[in-house]
Every structure is written in C-alpha cells, then in structure tokens.
Amino acid sequence: MKSLEPYGQQTMNKEGFPSMSSVQTPVKLSSQTRIGVLYGGLSSERKVSLISGQNCFDALKRLGYENAELIDVNHHIAQTLAEKRIEVAYIALHGKFGEDGCIQGLLELMGIPYTGCRVAASALTMNKATTKSVLKDAGLPVIDSVVIKAGTVNGKAVRYRAELPGDGQTHQRGLQHRHEQGGQGRGPERGPHHGL
C-alpha cells in the first residue's frame, strides 16, 4: 500500500515559515483504513470537485483501499466524518471551503489526518496578491502584476492581456480575460463567479 501524507506536527523555522521537515508526516495505511474522499462541497467549483473526487476514489479502489468512501461535503460534514469514523481524509475539494483552510482546520480540530496543505498555507494561497507578495519577500521570482478592483483600473492604460481570477477561485471557471490596446482600459466586471 502507498502512504498518503497528511499533516504532521508543525514547527516554524528561523524565518517564520513552517519547517519543511514537520509539515507532513506520512501515515501508514492498510487496505482497511477508512479513507474519506471529500468532494463536491459548497463552492462555485462544485462540478469540478465532483469529477476530481470520483477520479481520486476510483484510483484508491484500484490501489486496494477497500474502505475508501466518497463523502459529499455539506454543512453537516463534521457529523458525517464522526459517524463514518473516517481515519484519513483525501481532500478533492476546489475553491472556498475546500482549499482555503476551512476544511483543513476542521479536520485538525477533529484529529483526522488529511492530504494537501495545512491551514495557513491553504488560506494564504487563496489570495493571489498576498501569495505573490509572500513568495517575492522570500526571494522567489514572481512576474509583475497589479491588483485591479472591480470597475476601475485606477487611471492606468491596460496594454496587456490580463487573466482575472477572483480570490477564492482556484480553477479556470470564472476566469475573465481582458485585452485592451492602449487608451483607457476597462476594469473587470462583476460576475456571479468572481470574488472581485
């Protein structure tokens, strides 16, 4: 059996970032381990998550994890996890409440190991501008960017193609494309799938 790598005991290094050696501790699994594949969820990216979750579940079954189970995340997820006595959570959620640290925090409170990033990293990476700032401050190369609020470009001409995902959107659903040649550019428009 392969091992999943859920969270471990987290400590900070001298720069204030999580120590890489403590971020994830492998959990030994057997074919009988109760693995909950968390999918669906409450975000606008539910449909994508349903596909991802099914694929993860199918792969776990092919690998011999007999007690893997699909769990469609809703407002009763804590009760569901407790009732089903889930031992490890495989997170296949997308967007808000799945990749923003919320489900990760709940799982940590319940003592259930899980796959993916811990709470702080999940929350941070949901905000693209903040993520880029942290990466740049850490000395990593990032491309130049500008944050544009809905309806304005602050008097600057937009001369480049722009990809405009809203915060909380992690998939291309809801991505706006803008391309203006010189002159006064148009800011992003509000839409039902944009966190702008």
Rounded to whole angstroms, how far apart are CA atoms 123 and 102? 8
Amino acid identity for residue 97 in this structure: F
Query: Which stretch of 70-79, 113-122, 154-163 has the lowest confidence by average pLDDT?
Result: 154-163
Residue labelled with tokens 């959570």? 89
Residue 42 belongs to a domain: yes
Residue 79 structure tokens: 């009760």
Q: Is residue 174's pLDDT more than 90?
A: no
Three-state DSSP state, 51 = helix
Residue 76 structure tokens: 């009763």
Residue that is last in its domain, among 69, 100, 125 = 125
Query: pLDDT, tens digit, for every residue of 119-162?
Result: 888 888 888 888 899 899 999 999 888 777 766 665 555 556 66
Query: pLDDT, tens digit, for every residue of 182-191?
Result: 444 444 544 4
Residue that is last in its domain, among 90, 107, 125 = 125
Residue 113 belongs to a domain: yes
CATH value at residue 98: 3.40.50.20
Judge whether 58 and 90 are in contact, CB under 8 Å: no
- From residue 67, give the alpha-carbon distance in Å to each of 28, 34, 175, 180, 185: 15, 5, 37, 53, 54
Specify whether 109 is located in the same domain as 151.
no
| Three-point CA angle 107, 84, 37, nearest 5° | 60
Single out the residue of 93, 100, 103 nearest to residue 131, CA to CA. Answer: 100
Greater model confidence, 161 or 196: 161
Residue that is last in its domain, among 84, 107, 125 = 125
Judge whether 6 and 115 are in contact, CB under 8 Å: yes
State the average pLDDT over residues 107-117.
92
Residue 175 belongs to a domain: yes
Q: Which of 6-15, 78-87, 97-106 has the highest mean pLDDT?
A: 78-87
Specify whether 83 is located in the same domain as 177.
no
Three-state DSSP state, 157 = strand
Three-state DSSP state, 15 = coil
Judge whether 4 and 26 are in contact, CB under 8 Å: yes
Q: Is residue 181's pLDDT more than 60?
A: no
**Longest Cα separation, the chain:** 63
pTM of the model: 0.68
| Three-point CA angle 144, 191, 195, nearest 5° | 50
Query: Which stretch of 20-29, 62-71, 140-149 has the lowest confidence by average pLDDT?
Result: 20-29
State the average pLDDT over residues 93-118.
91
